[in-house]
Amino acid sequence: MWEPDPAWHPVTGGTGTSTVGVWRTERDGQALVVKRLAVPTPYDPPEYAERHHFAYWRREADVAISGVVDATPGLRTAPLDVAEDDEGITLTREWVEDAALNGLYVAHALGRFAGVDLGRRKWLAVGQLRDRLSRVERRGGWPTLARTTIADAADRLWSRRETLLRELDALPQVAQHGDPAAQNLPGRSGDDVVAIDWGTLGVGPVGADLGLFLQNAREDAEPLLDAYLMGLPDGLATPEEAALGMRVSAAYTALSRAEWALARVAGGEGALAGKYRHPAVAPYLRTLQRQFPLVEALL
């Protein structure tokens, strides 16, 4: 049975899907990160085995083996060693130091990466937002948001989700990292961002990666969109198309995350409004508050 080395130090992040854990270690004075992925069991969600689903369990290993983003413009990967066994996969890479990248620089890099041709690989994620909203639908939608002051806006966007998802399907479909949170875009190599955690690499509507990056960006949407458009290859998409992809991705992601955070504390004693300052809730509500102009633009 596979077990981590007792000398490895657990680090936060990298959880979800089939990730067993992430550790920091070193070899010959070089800091390393080790991530362990487990083969799905019959008790795991079936989408772990679906190659186009964002939660496909072994995509990060397939990305490394293929070398598809080893030298791509805009975003590129840190080299990974891949070791497979009957129980799962062990991924090892060098530690990527945080370069404290400016959000405008990252947005420009996301635009450049959108022009990459990833080929027709069977394991690329597609329809990520649709799949994420299907998960939310199975949990009953956004019932906790219905008890807040944004209930009307949330209800209207929830009822319009299929219409807006079809509009996303009609946009130019481009390369996307799929999880461009700041912690997954730590490094810099020349003019490119060194990205990690490529488990959701795939193809999606132009602007969608930028909408995800907005969830924890310090900068406002407008200047980030301008930087993204500057990086986008000529003729790939119009500014209006990129703006729509950004708005829908940002709005539905912020609302879904706020619902998830509120639902975790809603069952406790006291009024729901009294829990908005809970440390497990407040960051998601602040993000939603910042994205609300994008929500309003879709109403």
Domain ranges, ordered by start, for the chain: 103-298
For 103-298, the fitting CATH number among 3.30.565.60, 3.40.309.10, 3.50.50.60, 3.90.1200.10 is 3.90.1200.10
DSSP 8-state assignment for residue 1: -
pLDDT of residue 124: 98
CA distance 104 to 194: 15
pLDDT recorded at residue 1? 85
- Which residues have a Cβ under 8 Å from the Cβ of 39 and sit 6 or more positions away? 18, 57, 86, 87, 88
pLDDT at residue 44 in the model = 92
Q: Which residues pair with 94 in a beta bridge?
A: 32
In sign, the C-alpha dihedral spanning 37, 43, 49, 55 is negative
pLDDT for the residue numbered 169: 97
- 84: three-class secondary structure by DSSP: strand
Q: How far is CA 43 from CA 38, 50, 123, 131, 149, in A?
A: 13, 15, 22, 20, 38
- Residue 24 near residue 8, CB atoms below 8 Å: yes
pTM value is: 0.94
Backbone angles phi, psi at 50, to 5 degrees: -90, 115
Residue 16, pLDDT score: 58
Mean pLDDT by 10 residues, the chain (299 residues): 90 72 92 95 94 96 97 95 96 94 97 97 97 96 95 97 98 98 94 96 98 96 98 97 98 97 86 88 95 93
> Could you tell me if 10 and 22 are in contact, meaning their C-beta atoms sit under 8 angstroms apart?
yes
Tokens for 92, please give them: 């090892």
